[in-house]
Structure 1
Amino acid sequence: MNAPAQIPLDLGHRTAMGCEDFLVASSNADAVAWLDRWPSWPAPALTVYGPVGCGKTHLGHVWRARSRAVIASGETLDHADLPGLLAVSNAVVVEDADKVAGKPAREEALFHLYNLAREQGGHLLLLSRKAPSRWRARLADLRSRIKGAPAVEVEAPDDALLAAVLVKLFSDRQLRPGQEVITYLLTRMERSLDAARRVVAALDHASLAAHRRVTVPLAREVLAALDEHTGDTSHGSGNRRSARARLRGEQGAG
């Protein structure tokens, strides 16, 4: 008689966000170099921009650890105590900073926060999906401030970085899959660090539930389940292999 499937307990696994956990690669090296220059930035703000899952948030946490910065959100900045944000350490990370654009109250808030930082010798790290030149902010003074500050792009991760991240995420969960699993995932998963976290979490869950090692067959099942759950919408055409390449891979994996 088969043993019943184990019900995995959600113990709230937390992805490490420290400096020692950040992997430097060609896709993020320029941003890392700019953060290393702090506090000798040429302006009160630095914008780090790039696609979802490229590692901007992790970079923000690395800088926060160094600067003791407060975390704020562009979506709620108009409700924030702006002087209070800078009162702790004179440094603020503004996540989703591009989401102030087109919202007059939010634009005014970021403009005043920038001015406060400049007056007090503080700094803002603005995290954004878009380059500042594409924010389309209506407030001319804000456009002038942000465009006059340095901005650096973090690109989507390449194979080398994704492979290293997968190995690290598996290691964080005390999993040691073979290289064939890493190779299989690289040719089929969405090209983002967020996707890597989702895939590893799903594989960990499936491995515990079925009492199975993390192997290519299990990875195939998990990816199929994730695709079915999302309707395959998470695999944008710009971030995935072609359907033909994936089919060839499936045939080669047997």
Structure 2
Amino acid sequence: MTKFAFMLGLYRDYFANYLKTKLSYRADFWVEVLSDLMFNGLNLVFIFVVFLHTPTLGDWSESEVVFVYGYFMIASGLFSTFFSAWNFSERYIVKGEMDRVLTRPAHSLSQVMLENMDPPAFVGSIVGLVIMITAWSTLGLPFHWYDPFVLIIMVLGSCFIYMGIYTALSAISFYSDAPTGIGPLIYNIQNYGRYPVEIYNKTIKFLLTWLLPFAFVGVYPASFFLGRLDDWWMAWLTPVVGIVVLSLGLWFWNYGVRRYRGAGS
């Protein structure tokens, strides 16, 4: 409990410092928000364009695919808000800032997350929730009292998957001098998780389900609310897969930190 309170205090202090910085340059804050909205808007337009040429994607309707995209945006926005260390290698390894992080009492990964949080990205989660609710209404899906609680559990599981994979990706910097090349590849692969896995061949479906489980940050958990899964347990695997992937990512990170010997090592 003491550690939890300590981390909450750190988050409050870092967030307050972030606000002070952004209030000095408010235009930058709104440019970031607008940039994120435009990017996500273009992805949504792409879905609409696809359905101008076909009535269904596999056997999925336009509203169902939009629903999945809304869920995908919620999890992606939350992850990006609290973990935006895309330049970890250059900033912390090449420039030596990891040495500073390791002299402080808080866990090294927690400090990296706090120093790189991106609150404007949270707007994407809000927009995703709006898209999801709109598609929910369009599809006429039933609403149960437990659905909000299930959504929270599913989204947390999805965020754990993001965090585990990208923590491991960042930790490659402890082992390799040139880890950044794989980043764009993983980022592109994650976007496949917002589409029905049935439209892919068996190899890609296996990759998105069990190796880089991005299907659990989009289509599988969203399918629970759509009533689309014959194997309903796949949706409920989302928090389980999230815990496993996060644990592996943390282990990989902690082992890398123990191996780290300072800037230039």
- Structures share fold, TM-score greater than 0.5: no
Structure holding more strand per residue: 1
Q: Which has the higher contact order (CA 8 A, sep 6+)?
A: 2
Task: Report the TM-score, using the length of structure 2 for normalisation.
Answer: 0.27
Which protein is bigger by CA-based radius of gyration? 1
